[in-house]
């Protein structure tokens, strides 16, 4: 029997392949995240884990007997394979979509409630390692549940109407979604430390996961029972959908994981740069997929959808970024890019309210410019012969207008929100929940009040009115619908957006003025003591 760290205990040393295998496993565990090892040990002794596993097995076997009985033992002859698979899928989805993410949430929340998180946080494990350890534990749990149902699911592949592609698709998508939900659960657990709020969050998360599971099952029912799966599997679109889910899902896993790690990291740490890198990746992935679908289908609505979706994405991301403190700790200042080019291109990745605002605007700006470039290439330069879809008559104006409106509204709403938060910061500490409340209030006032005025002044008129100009919801919707004809409203929104952007651009200047701070000699000496192989090097990157 293995006792510890790669050594066999002298009194119980075994021989043969079993002992060797166990020793190899212990050695392999040296490379695993300590939290993963700890949680695996806990799970093996946990009644909760054992009972969930047994319940899952019982349900699966129960469904096997019930399904076979209901088909009157004629499974191989009839189209009941999909019904059987759907039954197993329901059991699996509840485990993967509810139990695994909620366990991840509770696992981190319990560490914080019991004070063990503090003990872990003062070890040499980084916040990112802690979150990845918890996520790894979710993956292990997921694998165990998948393994429990694997024999049953494998059994359905022998039946009518079910093939291996369908099974792989199911398992892959379910795993990705489960991983995304788990990372979201981890991020959710970092929102508050207060026990009563954690209880409220638990209920909220369970409800959200339950709802998501229900929606997924309803969609899956259509997919399996309606025979849609067989049709879709035959098209190239199906496989791109899988790739789409993978890239988008995994990018959200990265986003939630880094957000959770940022929340858990030490107050003077850089919590922003890694997250902003993920956001840039998501911007590229999102834009890339919309352009791909536009090219494949020839439907220009995909480009309109791209600019609106990315606008919504950056309004949420921007709200959180503008809540960041504009002050940088000496710890962060030591890591700033130093060269002129580095500062010009990477200062926007530094933490800070102003850099966050400009970062969001730059990203949506890139997306807008790219979409307009597509429009230009397709219409003006006539790139149709290179596979670009033909443009519908008059549609170009609507897309252009939508792009301008989305950029202007984002500039205005984010900019005004940032200025309000900057004002608050003069008197109180601006937390993320406070920023969230401020932005919610801003959007409610900006959208609901104009609509109420509009309804009271001109209740029977269905056309767009200038009163609705502050409301991005109505204005963008009207622009998408091709009915935005209020020149005054367009001008108002554009000018307001540009003015607010300019004001924020000027006010954000001090945040770009930060200069790299020298690392103290004591720290340099310690670094060389720790890593003698590291010697002072010549500048090779913008950070040197």
Report the nearest approach of other proteins to the CB of residue 518 (Å): 12
Site map (CB under 8 A) of other proteins, residues 366-405, x = contact: ----------------------------------------
How far is it, in rounded angstroms, from Cα 524 to Cα 510?
A: 29
The label of the residue with tokens 């519908």 reads 392
Q: If binding is defined by CB under 8 A, does position 208 make contact with other proteins? A: no
State both tokens at 84. Answer: 């059987």
Residue from 54, 118, 246, 440 in contact with other proteins (CB under 8 A): 118
The number of residues in the chain equals 544
Q: If binding is defined by CB under 8 A, does position 120 make contact with other proteins? A: yes
Site map (CB under 8 A) of other proteins, residues 324-353, x = contact: -----xxx--x-------------------
Is 5 or 164 the residue whose CB approaches other proteins more closely?
Answer: 5
Is 385 or 426 the residue whose CB approaches other proteins more closely?
Answer: 426
Nearest to 372 by CA among 380, 384, 363: 380
Report the nearest approach of other proteins to the CB of residue 133 (Å): 9
- Of the candidate spans 112-120, 175-183, 353-361, 385-393, the one that interacts with other proteins by CB under 8 A turns out to be 112-120
In angstroms, what CA-CA distances link 297 with 187, 235, 303, 510, 512?
36, 13, 11, 46, 43
Report the nearest approach of other proteins to the CB of residue 35 (Å): 8
Q: If binding is defined by CB under 8 A, does position 51 make contact with other proteins? A: no
Report the nearest approach of other proteins to the CB of residue 372 (Å): 45
Q: How far apart are the first and last CA of the chain?
A: 50
Which 124-183 residues touch other proteins, going by CB under 8 A?
A: 124-125
Which 259-288 residues touch other proteins, going by CB under 8 A?
A: 266-268
- Of the candidate spans 336-344, 459-467, 470-478, 521-529, the one that interacts with other proteins by CB under 8 A turns out to be 521-529
Which 6-25 residues touch other proteins, going by CB under 8 A?
A: 6-7
- Of the candidate spans 3-11, 98-106, 256-264, 459-467, the one that interacts with other proteins by CB under 8 A turns out to be 3-11
In angstroms, what CA-CA distances link 113 with 54, 119, 192, 193?
29, 12, 10, 7
What is the C-alpha radius of gyration for the chain, rounded to an integer number of angstroms? 27
- Could you give phi then psi for residue 3, rounded to 5 degrees? -95, -50
How far is it, in rounded angstroms, from Cα 254 to Cα 539?
A: 30
Report the nearest approach of other proteins to the CB of residue 517 (Å): 9
How far is it, in rounded angstroms, from Cα 354 to Cα 507?
A: 7
State both tokens at 387. Answer: 């596979």
CB 467 within 8 A of CB 450: yes
CB 352 within 8 A of CB 450: no
Q: Kindly list the residues in this chain that would bind other proteins in the complex (CB under 8 A).
A: 4-7, 30, 34-35, 37-38, 41-42, 45-46, 114-116, 118-125, 266-268, 329-331, 334, 522-523, 526
């Amino acid at each position: 029997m293995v006792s510890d760290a790669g050594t066999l205990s002298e009194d119980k040393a075994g021989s043969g392949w079993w002992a060797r295998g166990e020793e190899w496993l212990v050695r392999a565990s040296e490379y695993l995240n300590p939290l993963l090892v700890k949680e695996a040990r806990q799970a093996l002794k946990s009644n909760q884990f054992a009972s969930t596993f047994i319940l899952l097995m019982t349900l699966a076997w129960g469904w096997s007997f019930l399904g076979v009985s209901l088909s009157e033992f004629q499974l191989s002859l009839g189209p009941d394979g999909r019904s059987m698979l759907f039954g197993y899928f329901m059991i699996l989805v509840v485990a993967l979509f509810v139990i695994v993410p909620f366990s991840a949430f509770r696992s981190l929340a319990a560490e914080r409630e019991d004070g063990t998180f503090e003990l872990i946080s003062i070890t040499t494990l980084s916040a990112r390692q802690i979150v990845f350890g918890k996520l790894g534990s979710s993956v292990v749990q997921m694998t165990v549940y998948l393994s429990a149902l694997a024999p049953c699911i494998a059994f359905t592949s022998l039946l009518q109407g079910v093939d291996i592609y369908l099974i792989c698709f199911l398992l892959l998508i379910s795993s990705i979604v489960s991983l995304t939900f788990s990372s979201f659960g981890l991020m959710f657990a970092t929102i508050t430390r207060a026990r009563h709020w954690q209880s409220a969050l638990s209920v909220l998360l369970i409800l959200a996961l339950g709802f998501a599971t229900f929606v997924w099952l309803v969609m899956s029912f259509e997919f399996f029972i309606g025979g849609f799966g067989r049709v879709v599997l035959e098209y190239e679109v199906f496989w791109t959908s899988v790739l789409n889910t993978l890239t988008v899902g995994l990018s959200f896993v990265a986003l939630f994981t880094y957000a959770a790690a940022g929340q858990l990291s030490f107050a003077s740490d850089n919590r922003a740069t890694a997250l902003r890198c993920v956001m840039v990746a998501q911007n590229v992935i999102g834009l890339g997929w919309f352009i791909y679908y536009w090219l494949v289908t020839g439907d220009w609505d995909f480009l309109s959808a791209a600019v609106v979706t990315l606008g919504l994405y950056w309004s949420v991301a921007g709200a959180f970024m503008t809540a960041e403190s504009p002050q940088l700790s000496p710890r962060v200042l030591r890591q700033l890019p130093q060269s002129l080019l580095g500062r010009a291109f990477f200062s926007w990745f530094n933490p800070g309210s102003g850099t966050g605002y400009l970062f969001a605007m730059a990203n949506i700006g890139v997306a807008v410019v790219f979409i307009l470039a597509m429009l230009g290439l397709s219409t003006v330069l006539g790139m149709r012969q290179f596979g670009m879809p033909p443009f519908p008559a008059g549609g170009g104006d609507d897309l252009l207008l939508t792009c301008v409106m989305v950029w202007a509204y984002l500039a205005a709403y984010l900019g005004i929100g940032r200025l309000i938060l900057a004002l608050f910061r003069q008197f109180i500490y601006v937390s993320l929940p406070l920023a969230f409340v401020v932005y919610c209030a801003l959007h409610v006032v900006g959208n609901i009040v104009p609509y109420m005025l509009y309804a009271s002044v001109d209740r029977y008129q269905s056309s767009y009115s200038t009163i609705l100009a502050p409301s991005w919801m109505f204005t963008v919707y009207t622009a998408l619908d091709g009915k935005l004809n209020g020149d005054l409203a367009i001008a108002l929104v554009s000018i307001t957006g540009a003015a607010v952007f300019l004001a924020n651009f000027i006010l954000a200047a001090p945040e770009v003025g930060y200069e790299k701070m020298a690392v103290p000699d004591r720290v340099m000496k310690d670094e060389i003591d720790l890593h003698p192989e590291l010697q002072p090097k010549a500048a090779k990157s913008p950070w040197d």
